[in-house]
């Protein structure tokens, strides 16, 4: 039997998660979308979208690391407004697939594309399947590094 | 639709406050009944008593048009129809708080309050870890979009009120971070861009800029809401 894939949005802002959930459901009707307003583990899901900022506390990296322990093959996407090397390093280490700026429409589109790629690549009912295989992991890290390099170059230009 | 099995009574005569409270609590999955006076609250309680439904929590405004909310708190405290009672008032004096607590309030909430924190406290109080399963919602996508947009506009109105008074720096930064994302999703691009810019400036220049940040952000939200 085909199982619905499960996605969870972890964000302290119910308005953001409500509208993002609607957009995700419209684009991916095959997904079961939930949201969670606490910075602790909600259980096992196929896709996690994590906000790095919960009521002023930065906990995206800790959450991503905790998720990897219970759900090693899931797709983990992080929303953050800051560029910090320590955050990037921890996210790369726990195989997060990308870091996105909440206020950027391009980043939202990029995030949707990653979810689509994941859904197309992974057969239903395998709860992550080969997502954490070596080629996928390397591809994820490469995409993450490329994205951050682009952003660092942009920031550099903006500052100078 | 109640997704948490938790039932809340809001007794509040200011319509904008009661609507916003009810919308936010419903949004996270509570079932909410609203009464705008003592009389309406007593009628609701009498109906619930007949149908054997108990409230998990009641939020009672102290200053109601037809009497003192403390009277209702006393009645709720001596009956078995409400487990937890919060008094809500703009009076921040110790005397007012003591009076409400003696009447049977478990907590005293001072207006204007941080809606997000209040919902969080209510969730903790009712033993709720809120996971909303959006796919269970039966309304159409367009209806849901309209409802969410309306709720967001109410939220922005609430934020303009919140920005009138000083707030801790972390709360202001967190509010800016939220607005960056949510305003973009709801099509308020100017608010989102401004929140990003103010967030950076606040990080660079520190708390001395907080008052200006609140004023500028508040003005932009007011202008955007009028458009």
State the CATH number of the domain containing residue B70: 3.40.50.2300
CB contact under 8 A, A81 and B199: yes
User: Could you say which of B119, B133, B174 has the minimum Cβ distance to residue A53?
Assistant: B174
Is B99 within a domain?
Answer: yes
Dist CA A75 CA A20 (whole Å): 17
Q: What is the pLDDT of residue B227?
A: 81
ipTM above 0.85, yes or no: no
Tokens 């009661």 found at: B18
Q: Does B22 touch chain A (CB under 8 A)?
A: no
Structurally, how many domains does chain A consist of?
1
Q: Does A39 touch chain B (CB under 8 A)?
A: no
Band of residue A40 on the pLDDT scale cut at 50, 70, 90: confident
Q: What is the pLDDT of residue B62?
A: 94
- Please check whether residues B11 and B121 belong to one and the same domain: yes
Which CA distances in Å does A88 have to A57, A78, A103, A145, B92? 17, 10, 19, 9, 45
| Selection from B47, B53, B55 nearest residue B25 by Cα | B55
Is B95 within a domain?
Answer: yes
Dist CA B33 CA B87 (whole Å): 16
Is B2 within a domain?
Answer: no
- Please check whether residues B11 and B119 belong to one and the same domain: yes
Give residue B191's domain range. 139-226
Q: What is the CATH number of the domain that holds A137?
A: 3.40.50.2300
Chain B partners within 8 Å of A17 (Cβ): 132
Chain A partners within 8 Å of B123 (Cβ): 37
- Please check whether residues B160 and B82 belong to one and the same domain: no
Is B159 within a domain?
Answer: yes
Band of residue A69 on the pLDDT scale cut at 50, 70, 90: confident
Chain B partners within 8 Å of A8 (Cβ): 131
Q: What is the pLDDT of residue A130?
A: 42
Q: Does A56 touch chain B (CB under 8 A)?
A: yes
Looking at B77, B99, B125, which one is the last position of a domain?
Answer: B125
Q: Does A85 touch chain B (CB under 8 A)?
A: no
pLDDT digits (tens), chain B, 227 positions: 445 568 899 999 988 888 888 888 887 778 889 999 999 999 988 887 776 678 889 999 999 999 999 999 999 888 877 888 999 999 989 999 999 999 999 999 998 888 878 887 888 777 655 666 676 555 677 888 898 999 999 999 999 998 999 988 888 998 999 999 999 999 999 999 999 999 989 988 888 999 999 999 999 999 999 88
Tokens 């109640």 found at: B2
Is B76 within a domain?
Answer: yes
Is B217 within a domain?
Answer: yes
- Please check whether residues B205 and B117 belong to one and the same domain: no
Is B203 within a domain?
Answer: yes
pLDDT digits (tens, 9 = 90+) for A90-142: 887 777 888 888 888 888 998 998 998 888 776 555 544 444 444 555 555 56
- Please check whether residues B148 and B189 belong to one and the same domain: yes
Q: Does A74 touch chain B (CB under 8 A)?
A: no
The minimum CA-CA distance between B72 and chain A, rounded to whole Å, is 31
Dist CA B96 CA B92 (whole Å): 7
Structurally, how many domains does chain B consist of?
2
User: Could you say which of A4, A36, A55 has the minimum Cβ distance to residue B130?
Assistant: A36
Q: Does B64 touch chain A (CB under 8 A)?
A: no
Chain B partners within 8 Å of A60 (Cβ): none
Containing H/E element for A144?
helix A134-159
- Please check whether residues B111 and B188 belong to one and the same domain: no
- Report yes or no: B100 and B87 within 8 Å, Cβ to Cβ: yes
Looking at B125, B150, B182, which one is the last position of a domain?
Answer: B125
Q: What is the pLDDT of residue B109?
A: 92
Closest residue of B to A5, CA-based?
A: B135
Looking at B98, B125, B152, which one is the last position of a domain?
Answer: B125
Closest residue of A to B192, CA-based?
A: A103
- Please check whether residues B220 and B161 belong to one and the same domain: yes
| DSSP-assigned letter for residue B168 | -
Assigned token pair, B167: 């707030």
- Please check whether residues B87 and B154 belong to one and the same domain: no
| Selection from A112, A76, A113 nearest residue A95 by Cα | A76
Q: What is the pLDDT of residue A155?
A: 57
Q: Which long-range contacts (CB under 8 A, 24 or more apart) does B192-200 make?
A: B192/A103, B193/A103, B194/B220, B195/A103, B196/A81, B196/A103, B199/A81, B199/B173
The residues, ordered by sequence, that sit 6+ positions from B60 with a Cβ below 8 Å of its Cβ are B9, B11, B41, B69, B72, B73, B76, B85, B86, B87, B88, B105
Assigned token pair, A19: 């509208």
Give residue A51's domain range. 5-159
- Please check whether residues B219 and B184 belong to one and the same domain: yes
Helices (DSSP H) in A29-133: which residue ranges? 60-70, 85-93, 105-121
Band of residue A72 on the pLDDT scale cut at 50, 70, 90: confident
CB contact under 8 A, A104 and B24: no
Please state, as a whole number, how many other Cβ atoms lie within 10 Å of the Cβ of residue B60. 29
- Please check whether residues B12 and B121 belong to one and the same domain: yes
Suggest the residue from B134, B189, B200 to mutate for an interface test with chain A (most A CBs closer than 10 A).
Answer: B134
Q: What is the pLDDT of residue B127?
A: 66
């Amino acid at each position: 039997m085909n199982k619905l894939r499960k996605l969870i949005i972890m964000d302290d802002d119910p308005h953001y998660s409500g509208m993002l959930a609607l957009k995700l459901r419209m684009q991916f009707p095959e997904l079961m979308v939930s949201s969670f307003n606490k910075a602790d583990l909600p259980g096992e899901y196929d896709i996690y979208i994590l906000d790095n900022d919960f009521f002023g506390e930065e906990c995206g990296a800790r959450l991503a690391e905790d998720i990897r322990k219970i759900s090693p093959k899931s797709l983990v996407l992080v929303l953050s407004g800051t560029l910090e090397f320590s955050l990037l390093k921890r996210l790369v280490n726990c195989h997060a697939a990308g870091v996105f700026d909440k206020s950027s429409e391009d980043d939202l589109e990029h995030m949707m594309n990653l979810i689509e790629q994941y859904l197309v690549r992974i057969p239903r009912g395998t709860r992550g399947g080969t997502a954490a295989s070596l080629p996928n992991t390397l591809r994820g890290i490469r995409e993450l590094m490329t994205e951050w390099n682009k952003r660092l170059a942009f920031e550099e230009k903006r500052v100078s | 639709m109640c997704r948490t099995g938790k039932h809340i009574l809001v007794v509040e005569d200011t319509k904008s406050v009661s609507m916003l409270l009810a919308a936010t609590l419903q949004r996270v999955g509570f079932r909410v009944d609203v009464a705008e006076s003592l009389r309406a609250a007593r009628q609701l309680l009498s109906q619930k008593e007949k149908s054997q439904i108990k409230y998990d929590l009641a939020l009672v405004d102290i200053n109601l048009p037809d009497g003192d909310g403390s009277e209702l708190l006393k009645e709720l405290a001596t009956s078995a129809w409400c487990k937890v009672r919060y008094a809500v008032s703009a009076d921040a004096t110790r005397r007012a708080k003591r009076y409400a607590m003696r009447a049977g309030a478990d907590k005293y909430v001072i207006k204007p309050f941080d809606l997000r924190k209040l919902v969080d406290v209510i969730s903790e109080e009712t033993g709720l870890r809120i996971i909303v399963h959006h796919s269970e919602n039966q309304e159409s996508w367009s209806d849901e979009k309209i409802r969410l947009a309306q709720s967001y506009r109410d939220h922005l109105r609430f934020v303009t009120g919140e920005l009138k008074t000083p707030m801790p720096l972390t709360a202001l930064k967190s509010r800016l971070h939220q607005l960056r994302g949510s305003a973009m999703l709801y099509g308020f691009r100017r608010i989102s861009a401004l929140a990003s810019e103010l967030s950076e400036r606040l990080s660079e220049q520190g708390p001395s800029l907080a008052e200006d940040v609140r004023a500028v952000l508040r003005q932009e939200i007011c202008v955007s809401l009028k458009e």
